[in-house]
Every structure is written in structure tokens, then in C-alpha cells.
């Protein structure tokens, strides 16, 4: 069985975690397969956005496969921890905009995968949280770092230290989610959201994402320099000239990502 499924719709890669019987929990082989798929996406210039979701209707991902972990040595657990951090960092650093389509449970590492994405759209029935402290561990795949950067320190500490599980509308009120939609509309809403971004220049999207994400980690003056460099990347592109031509001709531009 393939642990990771993928398809492409209109320049959007849809990557599906495919261990439905295990609620899409991560084991080592699944992480390796996900890493390989992310690397393929990263270097594919024809892919302009990425959607992550889980197979079935119950779960996006419940995080680490605890049945597997029970039988692992400490060294193997650390191996898995290193791998999940490596993979989620790759997702965080993808040049394309990324969307987590949260179709069900998103706990622990599943929630951390969603936090590694740029946007999170959830079905109304979705339930999510960083629940690791209830298992006497802590979030170890970026949760303690990405969540406070998203919603602030106090709210993040509240959710992490209480291991609280949030319904989708609660997560929306915390600022974790971009929007909440009916389950049957989840994928179509994510695709529509991606299409709204992809109506703009693909290279500009990547450079804007780069400037924002890198700028968040430096002082303002350094961030402004990063923005200038990212802007300069767009100047020699065919897409920029096409935008100017389309404006003068009063039509929609046809961007090619060049």
C-alpha cells in the first residue's frame, strides 16, 4: 500500500496521507515517503500550490503511530523525531503556497503538519490540538515554535500545557484556521482558495512568501533588505512584462511562471 498519494489539478499538487485504518498516523516509512514526495514537489516548476489532506473522513492525522512507538527503542524514537522534524521543515520551506485541508482529527504531529503549512482550512467536524503533554512528552515537530508565532505566546502555552482539543470553530477563533467549511466542500474550497492565489504571478507568489517568512525571523531593516532582494527576482521575469501588457490591453494576464 502506498502511504502517500498524490494528484495534480490545475498546477495544484494534492498530497494525501494514506493510512486510513491507523487514522493516518505517521510511522517511519510513511515519513520517508512523504519526504520523497515533498522533494519532487519542491523542484517541479509546474506545481504552483500544494494541498495536504488525509484519507477517509475521520482523520487528517493523529500524529505519531503510538502502536509502533510502543515497540521502538529510544534510538528509533529519536530517529523518527529527527525525520518528522526534517520533513515538516521541508514543508514549511516549500516555495509554493501550502494549504492543510483538515478533514478530521489533527492531533500531535498531525497538528504540527498543519502548522507547517501556510494556511489551514478545516471541515466543521474537525477536532485538533497539540496533545503531547497528556502523553508526558512535548510537541517535538515544531509545535512549540510555530504555534506561538501564529497565535501568540499565552494562547499557545494555554493549548500546549492543557493538551486541549479544539473544535474547528474554536480553532478559527484562536486564529489557527483560515476558515471552516462544510465537509463536502473542503477540498473544493481549498482548490478555489489556491486558484485565487494562482490567478497572480507564480514567481511573485513564491518571492512574497519568501520575504514574509524569512522576514519574520529577522529585524525590520534586514527584513526590508530581504524584501528588496525578493522584489528584484521578479523584475526580469516574462510574467511581469505580461502583466504590464495585459493591463494596457485591458485583459487578464496569462502567467507562465517564467
Catalytic residues: 112, 132
CA proximity to 99, closest of 30, 166, 192, 18: 192
Q: End-to-end alpha-carbon separation of the chain, Å?
A: 37
- How far apart are alpha carbons 208 and 99 in whole angstroms? 16
Strand order across the beta sheet in which 4-9 lies: 4-9, 12-17, 49-54, 98-102, 119-123, 179-181
C-alpha of 98 from chain center: 5
- How far apart are alpha carbons 38 and 13 in whole angstroms? 10
The DSSP code for 250 is: T
- How far apart are alpha carbons 49 and 14 in whole angstroms? 9
The three cell numbers locating residue 184: 463536502
The DSSP code for 26 is: B
Alpha helices in 72-142 (DSSP H): 74-92, 109-116
Q: Which helix (H) or strand (E) is 106 found in, with range?
A: strand 105-107
Amino acid at each position: 500500500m502506498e502511504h502517500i498519494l498524490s494528484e495534480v489539478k490545475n498546477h495544484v499538487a494534492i498530497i494525501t496521507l494514506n493510512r486510513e485504518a491507523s487514522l493516518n498516523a505517521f510511522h517511519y516509512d510513511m515519513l520517508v515517503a512523504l519526504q520523497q514526495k515533498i522533494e519532487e514537489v519542491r523542484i517541479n516548476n509546474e506545481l504552483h500550490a500544494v494541498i495536504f489532506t488525509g484519507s477517509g473522513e475521520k482523520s487528517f492525522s493523529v500524529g505519531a503511530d503510538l502502536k509502533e512507538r510502543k515497540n521502538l527503542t529510544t534510538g528509533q524514537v529519536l530517529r523518527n523525531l529527527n525525520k518528522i522534524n526534517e520533513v515538516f521543515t521541508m514543508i514549511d520551506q516549500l516555495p509554493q503556497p501550502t494549504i492543510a485541508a483538515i478533514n478530521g482529527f489533527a492531533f500531535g504531529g498531525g497538528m504540527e503538519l498543519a502548522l507547517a503549512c501556510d494556511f489551514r482550512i478545516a471541515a466543521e467536524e474537525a477536532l485538533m490540538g497539540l496533545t503531547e503533554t497528556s502523553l508526558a512528552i512535548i510537541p517535538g515537530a515544531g509545535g512549540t515554535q510555530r504555534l506561538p508565532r501564529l497565535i501568540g505566546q499565552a494562547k499557545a502555552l494555554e493549548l500546549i500545557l492543557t493538551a486541549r482539543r479544539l473544535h474547528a470553530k474554536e480553532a478559527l477563533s484562536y486564529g489557527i484556521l483560515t476558515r471552516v467549511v462544510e465537509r463536502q466542500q473542503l477540498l473544493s474550497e481549498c482548490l478555489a482558495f489556491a486558484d485565487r492565489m494562482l490567478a497572480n504571478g507564480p514567481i511573485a507568489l513564491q518571492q512574497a512568501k519568501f520575504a514574509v517568512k524569512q522576514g519574520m525571523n529577522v529585524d525590520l531593516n534586514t527584513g526590508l533588505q530581504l524584501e528588496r532582494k525578493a522584489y528584484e527576482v521578479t523584475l526580469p521575469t516574462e510574467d511581469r512584462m505580461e502583466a504590464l501588457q495585459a493591463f494596457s490591453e485591458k485583459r487578464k494576464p496569462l502567467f507562465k511562471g517564467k
